[in-house]
Structure 1
Amino acid sequence: MPLVEITVPEGTLSEAAAEVLQQQVADSVLTAMELPHTEFFAAATWVYVREAAKGLATTGAGRPPGVLVVLTPLEGFLTPERNEALSVEVTRHVHAATGPDTVVWLVVNEIPEGNWAVNGGLTRRAKIDELVAEAAAGS
C-alpha cells in the first residue's frame, strides 16, 4: 500500500536514526491517509531509506543536498489539506533526525486504481475500505 522512499546524503543518518525516521514517517502517512494503525496496515506500509553516495547529490547553489521523500499511495486517499499537513509532519521528523537546516522535499505520486499490484494481485480501494471498516468494528 503506501510506499515511501527517503533519500538522504551519505552519512547523514545513523542506523538507529534511520529506523526512528522510518517509523515516524510510516505513522504520519497512515494518519494522513486516514488508515488505522493496525498490524495489517503497518505491515503494508513500506518505508525505505536510501543514501545517495557522496558527489551524486548536489545543488546548483552550492548548498548541501537536502532530503527527498517520495510517497506513493493509491489515488484518492490524500486531499491537498492532508498533503500539506503531511508535509509539515515529515519535515518535522526529518529535521529531528538531521537538523533544522536540512531542505526537505516531499513528492506525492498517487497511483490510479488498477495500476498497483502486490504479489500479483491488484490493490483495490473497495478492499482497503473493507479492511478499514473491519478494523473500526474491532476497536
Structure 2
Amino acid sequence: MSIATTGQRGTGRYKALLAPLGVAAAAGAVFAFVGAVNPNEPGHYPTCPFLAVTGLYCPGCGTLRTIHALAHLDPVAALGLNPLAVAMVPFLVFWWGRWVVRALQGRPRRTTLAHPAWLWVFIGVVVVYWVVRNLPFGAFLAP
C-alpha cells in the first residue's frame, strides 16, 4: 500500500466526519440560541399550531422550554415540561456517537437508524404519550 493510498483513506474518513460534525454544530447553535432567548417570554417564538387549533398538547409542546431549562442546568424543570424530550437526549447522543464512530472507522453510513421494530415501538410511545398528556389523569405530563 502506498503512502498516497493511505493518505486518501485518511482524508475520506475526515470528509465522512463533516456531516456528523455539522449536525453537532447545528444542534449546538440551536441549544445556545434557545438557551439565550427565553421561550417563557411571549413574542419570541410562535405558538404550537396543534395547540392553537385544538387546544390539546402535542408530543413536542414544552420542548423549547425544556431545552432552555437544560441550557440553564435545570433538569428538574426540564422533566416537568417535556419528560419525553429529556428522555430522548441520551438516545440522540448515542446515535450521533455511533455515526461518528462509523465515520472514523471508514464504514459506510447505515441506511436505517434502527431495526423497524424499534421504530414502531418509538412511534407507539410517542402516540401513547400524546394521548395520556391530554387526559385528566395525565395532567402531570402537560407542560
TM bracket, shorter-chain basis: under 0.3
Higher strand share: 1
Question: Which has the greater radius of gyration?
Answer: 2
Q: Which has the bigger relative contact order, CA under 8 A and spacing at least 6?
A: 1
TM-score (norm 1): 0.28
Structure with greater helix share of residues? 2
